[in-house]
A and B are shown apart, each in its own frame.
Chain A
Amino acid sequence: MIVDFIILIFVVRYLKKTLQTADKFPAWDKIFTVIFFVSLACLVVSISVGQKAELLLSWMGNALLLFILYILYAKKEFRSLRSYMLALAPYICISVARDLVELLLPGFYTKWENYIDAIDFSAFIWLIAMLIINKRQQKALQTEKLRTKEEEEQNKVMVKMKAELEIQVKERTAEITLQKEELQLALNELRATQSQLVQSEKMASLGELTAGIAHEIQNPLNFVNNFSEVNTELITEMKEAIDKGNMDEVRSIANDIADNEQKINHHGKRADAIVKGMLQHSRSSNGIKEPTNINTLADEYLRLAYHGLRAKDKSFNASMKTAYDENMVDINIIPQDIGRVILNLITNAFYAVTEKKKEGTAGYEPTVSVSTMLSLPVGEGRGEAIIKVKDNGNGIPKKVIDKIFQPFFTTKPTGQGTGLGLSMSYDIVTKGHGGELDVETKEGEGSEFIVRLPV
């Protein structure tokens, strides 16, 4: 009985606290407050008065307990605490039943009082146990809720971060795409510039030829003019001889005139060939190989280079030595291309000796030698036509020699060389003709460039 009231007090207090009835269910709050004070009063009374009002008090207690049980079950406001009903129900029912039995069947009650006490006690234990279990469950639920909440929070944060990241990624992608387009433009420009430079290198080598060619044409033209003049004189003499009737003389003069005409024709054709050669050089190579005499080719370009350089620099003077292999055969090459290579090597050689000459060493004789050699196949090997261009300049320093065939590499001061000569020559010889281009050099003494072409 005392226990009942204590339980009531605690239950009511718990209900008030958990459901926050003060805010949410003010009507119930009042009821609970009433029950609370009533229970308290009954408790006090039962402690002090005890046996005398036992029946009344215990039934008061039961009534209140049943009421609590009912509201927990029936009223939807208390649905969340239904589990407590499960905890309380056995105890309350047994308590009520016990009092009923005690009231209606006292004899039975007294006989079985010990067992009834035990049941009562078990119900009480059940109550306590359920309370404890409930509490644990609640705690677990709460932790679950907390965790879920935390997870939700984290999710929210992550979603936010993901959105931010996506924006960043979009921005970066846009940046990078822009950069890529700029780079593409720059690359296109560079490619265009490169082909411009290659073309300008070709034009530069053509320009170097022009002066040489002009000179080379001058020689045959001089002969044409001179022999024509001679023939004019001879014809006058012939007329005189005819007048005199000296037929032998006439015939002799006629022969001379005929010979001279042949010379005129020969030199005229020579000039024509030089012009044709120059035109070929300026045209882009069509890639067709034709049998060519490289002795003639080398000699032609040697002269052209020499005259070209002299025309550019009046103080230029160097000795040219030639040694052409008499047994050289015609080999299949693209004449303009190999001619360009020879021209490039010779021009470089002349440049090297001119540079050395500027140093002013006494007794220095700038010399460039061009030679050809036919190397016959040995065993399984193939024959080679070898062109060598040698100079006694200052040679090529070790640290530079690996780079000389690279495009755009030059040791000339800015604006004087495109750096494309040797790289183009290398490509022409190796890729265009399956040959080799090597260099042997000694610092301070000179260099020798060796072109090997398969026969």
Chain B
Amino acid sequence: MKILVVDDEKDVQVLFEQRFRKEIRNNEMQFVFAFSGEDAIAYLNQHEHEAVLILSDINMPGMSGLELLGHIKQKYHKPPPVVMMITAYGDAENYNMAKELGADDFLTKPVDFTVLKEKLKPTN
């Protein structure tokens, strides 16, 4: 399963790579990292249909995660990738916006990786 992680914090990449070390080694999961909404779209344009799961932060300079969510859900239909929002802001408005735009899940930071791993299993 190819997972695209979008977050402006660069250390998120290291963290994910460490946390999913086993899964990466077993080739269960592959992680690709984009550090902005624009980079994420560029990647998706170049590698259509590859990423089946997108984990995106909401709070990013430039294109926000919600904007990205909107783009993805509008543009990429077959099949639509699963998009989960990961963010520090767990407030109602963000949650509702994300839901409206078609987010499949909503997680708050700090990421509980055990929970995340649980969520990722069924979609495998």
- A interface with B by C-beta (< 8 Å): 215, 218-219, 222-223, 225-227, 230, 234, 256, 259-260, 263, 266-267, 310, 314-315, 317, 319-322
Ranked nearest first, the 9 interchain pairs of A and B with the lowest CB-CB distance are A222-B110, A314-B91, A230-B18, A315-B93, A320-B61, A322-B61, A226-B15, A223-B11, A263-B11
Q: Are A315 and B61 in contact, CB atoms less than 8 angstroms apart? A: no
- Report the minimum CB–CB distance from B117 to chain A (whole Å): 13
- The majority secondary structure among interface residues of chain A is helix
**Is A256 within 8 A of B91, CB to CB?**
no
Residue of B nearest to A256 (CB): B18
Which residues of chain B are within 8 angstroms of A260 by Cβ–Cβ distance? 14, 18
In the bound complex, do residue B64 and residue A314 qualify as a contact, i.e. CB atoms below 8 Å apart? no
Within 8 A of A (CB), among B60-95: 61-62, 64, 67, 88-89, 91-94
Residue B23 is within 8 A (CB to CB) of chain A in the complex: no
Determine if A218 and B88 form an interchain contact, defined as CB atoms under 8 angstroms apart.
yes
Q: Which residues of B contact A319 (CB under 8 A)?
A: 62, 64, 67
Chain A contacts for B9, CB-based, 8 A: 219
B109 at the A/B interface (Cβ < 8 Å)?
Answer: yes
Taken together as a complex, chains A and B put the C-alpha atoms of A317 and B21 apart, in Å, by 35
Contact of A263 among B14, B62, B89, B109 (CB under 8 A): B14
Q: Which residues of B lie under 8 Å from residue A322 when comparing CB positions?
A: 61-62
Shortest CB-to-CB span from B108 to chain A, Å, is 11
Instruction: Give complex CA distance A223, B94 in Å.
Output: 23
Query: Given A215-B88, A310-B89, 7 more contacts at CB 8 Å?
Result: A219-B88, A223-B15, A230-B18, A263-B11, A263-B14, A315-B93, A320-B61
Residues of A close to B119: CB separation below 8 A: none
Interface membership of chain B positions 1-16, coded 1 if the CB is closer than 8 angstroms to chain A and 0 otherwise: 0000000010100110
Q: Which residues of B contact A227 (CB under 8 A)?
A: 14-15, 18
Is A230 in contact with B61, judged by CB distance below 8 angstroms?
no
Closest to B14 in A: A263
Contact with A along B95-112 (1 / 0, CB 8 A): 000000000000001110
Q: Are A226 and B91 in contact (CB under 8 A)?
A: no
**Given the complex of chains A and B, what is the CA–CA distance between A310 and B111 in angstroms?**
20
Query: When the two chains form their complex, are residues A230 and B15 in contact, meaning their CB atoms are under 8 A apart?
Result: yes
Closest to B90 in A: A314
Whole-angstrom CA separation of A234 from B18 in the bound complex: 9
Q: Does B49 contact A (CB under 8 A)?
A: no
Q: Which residue numbers of B lie inside 8 Å of A, CB to CB?
A: 9, 11, 14-15, 18-19, 21, 61-62, 64, 67, 88-89, 91-94, 109-111, 113
Contact A226 B110 (CB under 8 A): yes
Q: Which of B9, B11, B62, B111 has the most CB of A within 10 A?
A: B11
A253→B58 CA distance, assembly (Å): 33
Set of chain B residues within 8 Å of A310, measured between Cβ atoms: 89
Q: Measured between alpha carbons, how far is A128 from B82 in the docked complex, in Å?
A: 147
- Interchain nearest-CB distance for A232 vs B (Å): 11
| Residues on A with beta carbons closer than 8 Å to the beta carbon of B93 | 314-315, 317
Give the distance in Å from the alpha carbon of A314 to the alpha carbon of B97 in the complex.
13
Q: Which of A219, A234, A266 has the most CB of B within 10 A?
A: A219
> Which residues from B are CB-within-8-Å of A226?
15, 19, 110-111, 113
12 A/B residue pairs, CB under 8 Å, sorted by A: A218-B109, A223-B11, A226-B19, A227-B14, A227-B18, A263-B11, A267-B11, A314-B93, A315-B91, A319-B67, A320-B61, A322-B62
Task: Kindly state the separation between the CA atoms of A72 and B94 in the bound complex, as whole angstroms.
Answer: 131
Q: Which of B19, B62, B113 contacts A321 (CB 8 A)?
A: B62
Output the least CB separation between B11 and chain A (Å): 5
**CB proximity of A432 to chain B, nearest CB, Å:** 29
- Least Cβ distance of A125 to chain B in Å? 131
A222 and B91 CA atoms in complex are apart in Å by: 19
* Bound-complex Cα distance A315 to B67 (A): 17
CA distance A135 to B110 in the complex (A): 127
Docked pose: A115 CA to B122 CA in angstroms: 173
Give chain B residues whose Cβ lies under 8 Å from the Cβ of A315: 91, 93
Name the A residues within 8 Å of B111 (CB-CB).
Answer: 222, 226
In the complex, A227 Cα to B18 Cα: how many Å?
A: 8
Q: Smallest Cβ distance from A453 to chain B, in angstroms?
A: 23
Q: Nearest Cβ in chain A — how far from B33, in angstroms? A: 15
Alpha-carbon distance between A230 and B11 when the two chains are bound, in angstroms = 13
- What's the least CB distance linking A248 to chain B, in Å? 14
- How many angstroms between the C-alpha atoms of A319 and B58 in the bound complex? 11
Residue of A nearest to B58 (CB): A317
Give the distance in Å from the alpha carbon of A263 to the alpha carbon of B12 in the complex.
11
Report the bound CA distance from A387 to B97 in whole Å. Answer: 33
The complex places the Cα of A356 from the Cα of B113 at a distance, in Å, of: 39
Tell me the minimal C-beta distance from B69 to chain A in angstroms. Answer: 14
The CA-CA distance from A314 to B94 in the complex, in Å, is 9
Residues of B within 8 A of A314 (CB): 91-93
Of B9, B67, B92, most buried by chain A (CB within 10 Å of CB) is B9
Assess whether B109 is in contact with A230, with CB atoms less than 8 Å apart.
Answer: no
CA distance A222 to B87 in the complex (A): 12
